[in-house]
Amino acid sequence: MAIEIPLSSPSEEWGITIATYLFMGALAGGAYLTGYISKVWSEHDPKQNNFHRVTTQFGFLIGLIGTLLSGLLIISHLGAPLRAILFPITFSNITWTTIGAWVFGLFGSLISIQLIWNVFGQDYSSTSVSKKVRWMTTQLKLTSLLDRVSTATRPSRKYQLAIGAVGALFALAAMGYTGMAIASIDTVPLWDRTLIPILFVASGISIGIGIVLSFTVAVTELDQTPLHAYGALNSIAIISQIGVITWLWLRISDVPGGRESIELLTTDYQLLFFGGVLGVGLLVPLFGYVGLVAVAKRNIFDRVTSIHIRYGYITLFGFVVVGGLALRITMILAGVHEPLVLA
């Protein structure tokens, strides 16, 4: 007679710290990707140049901050800072942790140099973002050095876009890695090796658009065309997430470990999952974008002031970011190992 021995929940080892680490990695990739898209867009839409410059600089800046924070979180989790810093070099086995360390290390380098090219040097883009960054580096007495580095290393626009495209590939890899980091544990049905990376990439794109555009909308003049375009892109990412979550739910509903995860999602974590992930993070922003576009198309802006539209977009983009964090916390907490079967 076969005996099933239930195993401990992976959340006992992979708690909120790891969920936040996965979130920061996705935020970094999504923010950079948003900034790069805006940089490419600015080459073809000079009328919206200030909006795109601000979005690009926010994207690169937030991407760099997210990369640094994700590194600090994983170092704190490993518990040995020096060993963790040297981990990609000294560790001989190839694991998803070492792959992730290399991806984020190279990704951070690519973001850094592009941020320097956009904020420093003789031909830097002067925006409210660059002014704040330059003020901070001036306090640290680094502005002059960074100006020289930017001027000496900045290539032509063509090559900047090419290097940016390489960075975009690393951004996708970083977001995909945050999924594979948990999906590589194949004894947890909820952490499906195929679907979780796809889900986390789509979510990372949403998070990146959400956080970058929240800041852009807050400091620039309200401009409908790019806002609606980013809202549409975010809507596509949201619909993709809903589809993947549905597929994942059906896929694990009849397997050991999967049934227990669904039970947790519908009982202990129902508020976090249905309220935070599906409600705040996906459905409210999706229908909210449709509503804001409908307002614009019907030309009733005279009856709804621009400040309401601005706050509406900031709120919806903010909801997406909160939902992305809730998604990762939910995935960690609701993960259940398949029981160990002894014949």
Which structure tokens are listed for 27?
């935020």
- 309-315: Cβ within 8 A, 24+ apart: 309/222, 310/217, 310/218, 310/222, 312/288, 313/213, 313/214, 313/217, 313/227, 313/231, 314/214, 314/217, 314/218, 315/288
Phi, psi of 342 (to 5 degrees): -105, 125
CA dihedral 131, 134, 139, 142 (to 10 degrees): -170
What is the structure's pLDDT at 1? 46
Grade residue 39 by pLDDT with cuts at 50, 70 and 90: very high
Decide if pLDDT at 268 tops 60.
yes
* Chain mean pLDDT for the chain: 85
**Residue 5: its H or E element:** strand 3-5
What is the structure's pLDDT at 17? 83
The closest of 107, 106, 110, 102 to 160, measured between CA atoms, is 110
- Return the number of other C-beta atoms located less than 10 Å from residue 238's C-beta: 23
Interhelix angle 49-78/195-219, rounded to 10 degrees, is 130
| Mean pLDDT of the 72-84 span | 61
Q: How far apart are CA 134 and CA 143, in angstroms?
A: 6
87-145: per-residue pLDDT in tens? 555 555 556 666 667 788 889 999 999 999 999 987 777 788 888 999 999 999 999 99
Q: What is the DSSP letter of 338?
A: P
**Residue 149: its H or E element:** helix 143-153
